[in-house]
Structure 1
């Protein structure tokens, strides 16, 4: 996901690219997606690896949100919390796709882009984190 963003200068564009790349990867690899959302307390090494994968993506998102905040393209928000919200949202979409025959994650790209990136940047002047 990060490799595909190396040539993109704007952090908001990197967020969009990261979101699109992740949704495409998850949609094309259903078995991997199922593994990522399956929690197990019996296999500690699996849980550790799963946690590392989520943390790496969360770190990429948090870094780009913070960079967008610095250049005033994103409101002053808790980037760590927001990156966790991204992970939770995508996790629920994958869960619904796998276990409830929902749409594949890539089908939600435009809506997620609007909710997670466009909407906050559009209303950033109105948001006050006090």
Structure 2
């Protein structure tokens, strides 16, 4: 039984990349699709296709083997814009290495580099 689909997807991607697989099939949700779109924009994956099997959506993710670390942050931290630096130092290995996934108050998923003047909730990180 799945409790956290995003954590399952992240661990499946990380495990597949560590053994050199080129594509994997993972569960689907709007949150997962939004994060995969960001990973595609940033060049960490090639893309994904939607598969429908017995009224259940799955995603076929094409990997590039560029991810060193991909994790979900639990518990999810709320923060204000001025506190972002503290969390970047906590989760990322360097200043311009990787990025945080952030859910804004307007329910958009963005990266720490796209954050304007608002805070949000840290969902995970990649580098």
Between structure 1 and structure 2, the one with the greater Rg is: 1
More helix by share: 1
More strand by share: 2
- Pairwise same-fold verdict (TM > 0.5): no
TM-score (norm: length of structure 1) = 0.34
User: TM-score, length-normalised on structure 2?
Assistant: 0.34
